[in-house]
């Protein structure tokens, strides 16, 4: 049984799939935010968690962190470090969402689109979804075998 678990965790195809899922998700998520930083900055403001001087910097930098880490995951460039970066981001997102759910603060998570549709109906679903992504990240971090490159070839290092 233990071996079976290990063989799933250490299956290089599953690890690659996790990298693609997480990578594509983060690249996609960065897209709207990079295209309209004004809207994303307002969403960051809407979380009501950050000092005012930091709001613009957060809005400028986070999307590129998502993009760069996502690309790195898919390309197999520093994959473990990219997954750690993404999991730290996910923990921060989940903390921000949870704090606002608990204090009943209504807001738009701005996760994928920055067009302020006020679609905040499912902050809880968003947290659940983030947990799934976090597990994908964990799988990539804990993987101990030889990783494949983005197109499935085993790397020779």
Partner 1 sequence: MIYGKTIKEIMILVGVSVALALVVNHLSPRGIALVGQWDTAKGVIRPNAPGEDGYRIAEIDRVSDAAKIFYDDDTLFVDARSTEDYESGHIPGAISLPIGQFDEKIESFINQYPPDQPIVTYCSGRTCEDSHHLARLLSDVGFSEVRIFIDGFPGWEAEGYPIGKF
Which residues in this chain contact partner 1 in the complex, by CB under 8 A? 34-38, 41-42, 45, 52-53, 55-57, 59-61, 63-65, 67-69, 72, 78, 80-82, 84-85
The whole-angstrom separation of Cα 103 and Cα 98 is 9
Q: Exposed/middle/buried for 34, CB within 10 Å: 0-12, 13-18, 19+?
A: middle
C-beta closer to partner 1: residue 70 or 111? 70
Residue closer to partner 1 by CB (options 4, 74) is: 74
The C-alpha angle 146, 150, 153, rounded to 5 degrees, equals: 50
Contact 88, 141 (CB under 8 A): no
CB of 22 to partner 1, least distance (A): 14
Determine the length of the chain.
Answer: 157
Nearer to partner 1, 17 or 61 (CB): 61
**Does residue 109 sit in helix, strand or coil?**
coil
> What is the closest distance, in whole angstroms, from the C-beta atom of residue 55 to partner 1 in the complex?
5
* Tokens, residue 61: 């930098």
Question: Residue 67 CB, nearest distance to partner 1 (Å)?
Answer: 7
CB of 82 to partner 1, least distance (A): 6
3 or 38, CB closer to partner 1? 38
């Amino acid at each position: 049984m233990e071996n079976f678990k290990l063989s799933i965790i250490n299956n290089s195809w599953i690890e690659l799939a996790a990298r693609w899922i997480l990578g594509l998700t983060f690249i996609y998520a960065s897209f709207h935010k990079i295209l309209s930083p004004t809207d994303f900055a307002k969403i960051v403001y809407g979380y009501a968690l950050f000092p005012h001087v930091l709001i613009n910097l957060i809005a400028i930098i986070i999307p590129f962190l998502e993009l760069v880490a996502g690309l790195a995951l898919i390309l197999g460039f520093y994959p473990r470090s990219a997954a750690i970066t993404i999991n730290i981001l996910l923990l921060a997102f989940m903390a921000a969402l949870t704090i606002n759910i608990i204090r009943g603060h209504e807001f738009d998570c701005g996760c994928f689109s920055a067009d302020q549709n006020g679609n905040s109906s499912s902050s809880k679903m968003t947290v659940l979804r983030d947990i799934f992504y976090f597990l994908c990240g964990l799988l990539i971090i804990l993987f101990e075998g030889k990783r494949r490159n983005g197109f499935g070839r085993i790397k020779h290092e």
